[in-house]
Amino acid sequence: MKVAFAKTHDAAVGATAVAVRTGRLLTPAGAALDAVLGGAVTRAMEVGRFEGKRDSTLTLLAPAGLDKARIVLVGVGDAKPGDALAAEAFGGTAVAQMLSSGERRLTLLADLSEDEALFAAHAALGARLRAWRFDKYLTREKKDEKPALDRIQVTCTHPVSAKTTYQSLEKVAEGVLFTRALVAEPANVIHPESFAERVAALSALGVEVEVLGEKQMKKLGMGALLGVGQGSARESKLVVMRWQGATDPEAAPLALIGKGVTFDSGGISIKPAQGMEDMKWDMAGAAAVAGAMMALAGRKARANVVGVVGLVENMPSGTAQRPGDVVTSMSGQTIEVINTDAEGRLVLADALHYTKERFKPSAMIDLATLTGAIIVTLGNEYGGLFTGDDALADKITAAGKAVGEPVWRLPLGEAYDKMLKSDIADMKNVGGREAGSITAAQFLKRFVGDTPWAHLDIAGMVWSKKDAPVTPKGATAFGVRLLDRLVADGFEAS
């Protein structure tokens, strides 16, 4: 989809979206359009009881006096100047109204805030994110059911400034869409090898990509990760992505680690059949890390960042790991596998230790669809945040809030740690039904040493069953924008 910025728009071409504040307050451009239409916009709001509530819409079809198909009014509520999320919701909501309309062009009147350029750029970002659609396998869709929209024009007082701001945001959008596509693909298409192949494409952006196979991981002693994948016909992989953007190439990097279980059957502790198809997205943490690396490299972030993703399939077979098996992790710590469906933590155990030892990072953040318990705790509203580092927690929370990817901090503690005690090994891989997300985090904590570390359990956030202003239902790419913003605000040189 093409995105362009202009100072004025041709009121006679295509559809137009108008931002409306609470109380039916039109922007200057919206008021001018209303005047051209003889007050038709104002009358429509009164008749339709449209007050400008956030994300509400009202469409005027074939308004008299203009050669246009429609005008869509989009409520932005009490949006304040510089409210990037309101701008994104405006752009995304407007696009959602147009996708099945047959319109090919949409103009966003983005003269809402004092910082129009910022609002316009983020409106364009919202439009780009909401317009994404995973339709590659829809072979019999009728032409009139397919979206026709292929051009967005955003108008504001300072279009050059808006375009400059958008150029960086567009790179982040590309990372988001890359992740969504990875997560949306079925498991027969995305498996450890093909995931690694797609990530290898990041080398075109300057990312150093290295792929470790099972022989290399066996030499390194990654018994925890390899144990998960031993029941699959697919070879497990560990992919390392390095972006060296800091002035000092030797500066310790920020490390991002992702769980990449490309399909999770539960292994011998097999999952119920109902809903198992969703387990194609058990690699969403790894996909978010890959998308974040794409975004950082695309916008040339001034930071050293390394991304490490452990890629496995968890399948039942004659070679699969059994409940009761004991594996030795790369760190030398032994793990009694009580439940083979608690596999993500085994993958991350070796990935975390490997990253810590090889790269000596300034901090490590892992992302994983780790536990169903986090959905019971937080639903689909927040990702779970676990860390003993208050400063890192504050940075992550602020970054998530700024981009609309919120996280909620949950506790860690010695009492939870004791729940992992094993009679025959250094630890069990599960701690019982109580505090399942916390004991999973406590398990991971044993592999990070003294490195500042945070764990994000994003199981409830990576797949949406309904549309949202900037995210169509399906893969959300939760975590990509959070990580990009975290780097920009907390780790990037000014």
Q: Are 471 and 277 in contact (CB under 8 A)?
A: no
Q: Where are the beta strands (DSSP E) in 315-444?
A: 326-328, 334-336, 363-368, 383-387, 407-409, 427-428
Residue from 271, 302, 401, 409 carrying the catalytic annotation: 271
* 288 vs 428: CA distance, rounded Å: 28
Short-list 219, 266, 211, CA closest to 239: 211
Residue from 345, 356, 395, 445 carrying the catalytic annotation: 345
Question: Is 481 one of the annotated active-site residues of the chain?
Answer: no
Q: Where are the beta strands (DSSP E) in 369-415?
A: 383-387, 407-409
Q: Are 255 and 308 in contact (CB under 8 A)?
A: yes
Short-list 77, 76, 48, 78, CA closest to 60: 48
Burial class of 274 by CB neighbour count within 10 A (0 to 12, 13 to 18, 19+): exposed
Pairing assessment for the beta strands 70-77 and 15-21 based on DSSP bridges: parallel
Pairing assessment for the beta strands 105-109 and 70-77 based on DSSP bridges: unpaired
Question: Is 302 one of the annotated active-site residues of the chain?
Answer: no
Q: Are 4 and 154 in contact (CB under 8 A)?
A: yes
Report angle CA 134, 202, 486 to the nearest 5 degrees.
Answer: 85
Number of neighbours of residue 200 by Cβ within 10 angstroms? 15
Q: Are 68 and 58 in contact (CB under 8 A)?
A: no
Cross-strand pairs, 109: 18, 155
Pairing assessment for the beta strands 474-475 and 463-464 based on DSSP bridges: antiparallel
Point out the residues that are catalytic: 271, 345
